[in-house]
């Protein structure tokens, strides 16, 4: 199955394009809301569509444990039918979660044996298992199963981990493509913060045909300048005509910095998780709606925002819902934060198309990064 990726415009290293997937087209650079358990938390598929989401991410690790790939696969279209989302889906491989969430983990060349954090049952996941799950989920884009390198890691640790990931990637590739795959499998570049290992990882991957590549092993706790150093080294080595996905990133300014270097795809739990904690992205910075200063504030959350939350409700009401732990508060915050992210991506694409990406990036970079002063 050939993946068609049209590059439409370039502005410096930034580019915008169109990714044609089995369930539809994705305009890039794109942000993928995270739908861990077959639901982008608090949202319906219809709401996601209305916000302009064109692709969501599903977590293979979580879905394999609950409800299990077999139950998802009973539904026509796999995960699409199960969750009622008919647009594209990317699934991660479970590799990252095995290393961050599983208990009593034992790694062998064969795969990883661990205790399920759900019920304590012993589970084994190999590259082949991950491919089987992702095939059953029928995602448009599947990801290679990797040994996610911890941060920090010595050169030796990072090398061994990267080399295992490369062997696992080759096994996964053979298994995923063994017969009529439901989608496309992306490889993942590893190598930690060690630039020579990033180069070696890309060389290892180049022996196989990947329709797209991801940069893994970032957004794992490293300082921003480390991440940018790895991106500055790695992105120019990646094929320019294939989509590039930076896994797990990030804040708006992180996304802008990565787009500036040539990244096309992003995912992050930030907008949805922050909404559940009352942290709301605005044109003036992150508003902590729990703050007492909003108690009597009848103005909209962000006067510059066109989302239904900002058009309908006051800050005082949003604060009240948060304080009372009302589900509607999470919903309205999630709608707003996802609108903010998807609007950011629309703005980025338009700016690249019109050759004014630098100016937009400068404005995004100037927005305060922490839950900040009151919005005027």
Residues 138 and 77 sit within 8 Å (Cβ to Cβ): yes
Q: Is 121 in the site for a second copy (CB under 8 A)?
A: no
User: Three-state SS for 356?
Assistant: coil
Among 4, 298, 304, 365, binds a second copy (CB under 8 A): 298
Q: Is 166 in the site for a second copy (CB under 8 A)?
A: no
Q: Which of residues 48-67 bind a second copy (CB under 8 A)?
A: 66-67
Is 192 buried (19+), middle (13-18) or exposed (0-12) by CB count in 10 A?
Answer: buried
Known catalytic residue at 267: yes
What span, in angstroms and rounded, lies between the C-alpha atoms of 30 and 243? Answer: 11
Residue whose CB is less far from a second copy, 135 or 319: 319
Length of the chain: 376
Mark the segment that binds a second copy (CB under 8 A) among 34-42, 141-149, 228-236, 283-291: 34-42
What span, in angstroms and rounded, lies between the C-alpha atoms of 157 and 284? Answer: 42
Q: How far is CA 345 from CA 32, 37, 225, 351, in A?
A: 10, 24, 23, 10
DSSP assignment letter at 288: E
Taking the complex as a whole, the smallest distance from the CB of residue 274 to a second copy amounts, in Å, to 15
CB atoms within 10 A of CB 289: 27
Residue whose CB is less far from a second copy, 25 or 288: 288
Q: Is 4 in the site for a second copy (CB under 8 A)?
A: no
Phi, psi of 211 (to 5 degrees): -70, -15
And the tokens for 117?
A: 């954090």
Mark the segment that binds a second copy (CB under 8 A) among 38-46, 124-132, 258-266, 277-285: 38-46
Q: Is 43 in the site for a second copy (CB under 8 A)?
A: yes
Taking the complex as a whole, the smallest distance from the CB of residue 59 to a second copy amounts, in Å, to 11
Q: Is 83 in the site for a second copy (CB under 8 A)?
A: yes
- Per CB under 8 A, residues contacting a second copy are 37-39, 41-44, 66-67, 71, 74-75, 82-84, 295-296, 298, 312-314, 316-317, 319-321, 323-324, 326-328, 330-331
Instruction: Please identify every residue annotated as catalytic.
Output: 92, 267
């Amino acid at each position: 199955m050939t993946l068609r990726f049209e590059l439409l415009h370039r502005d410096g290293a930034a580019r915008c394009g169109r990714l044609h997937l089995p369930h539809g087209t994705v305009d890039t650079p794109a942000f993928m809301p995270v739908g861990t358990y077959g639901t982008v938390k608090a949202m319906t598929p219809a709401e996601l569509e209305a916000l302009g989401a064109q692709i969501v991410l599903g977590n293979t690790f979580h879905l394999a444990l609950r409800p299990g790939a077999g139950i998802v696969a009973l539904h026509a279209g796999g995960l699409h039918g199960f969750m009622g989302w008919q647009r594209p889906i990317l699934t991660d491989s479970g590799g990252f979660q095995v290393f961050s969430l599983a208990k009593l983990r034992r790694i062998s060349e064969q795969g990883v044996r661990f205790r399920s954090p759900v019920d304590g049952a012993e589970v084994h996941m190999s590259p082949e298992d991950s491919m089987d799950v992702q095939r059953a989920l029928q995602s448009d884009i599947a990801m290679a199963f990797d040994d996610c390198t911890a941060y920090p890691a010595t050169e030796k640790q990072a090398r061994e981990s990267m080399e295992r990931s490369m062997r696992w990637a080759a096994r996964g590739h053979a298994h995923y493509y063994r017969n009529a795959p439901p989608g496309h499998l992306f490889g993942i570049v590893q190598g930690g913060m060690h630039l020579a290992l990033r180069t070696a990882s890309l060389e290892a991957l180049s022996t196989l045909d990947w329709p797209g590549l991801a940069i893994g092993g970032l957004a794992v706790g490293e300082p921003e300048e480390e991440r940018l150093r790895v991106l500055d080294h790695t992105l120019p080595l990646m094929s320019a005509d294939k989509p590039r996905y930076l896994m797990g990133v990030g804040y708006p300014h992180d996304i802008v910095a990565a787009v500036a270097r040539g990244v096309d795809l992003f995912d992050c739990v930030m907008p949805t998780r922050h909404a559940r904690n009352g942290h709301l992205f605005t044109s003036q910075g992150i508003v902590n709606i729990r703050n007492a200063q909003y108690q009597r504030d009848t103005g909209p959350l962000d006067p510059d925002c066109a989302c239904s939350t900002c058009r309908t409700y006051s800050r005082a009401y949003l604060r009240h819902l948060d304080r009372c732990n009302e589900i509607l508060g999470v919903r309205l915050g999630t709608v707003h934060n996802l609108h903010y992210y998807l609007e950011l991506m629309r703005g980025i694409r338009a700016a690249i198309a019109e050759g004014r990406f630098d100016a937009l990036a400068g404005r995004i970079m100037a927005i305060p990064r922490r839950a900040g002063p009151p919005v005027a």
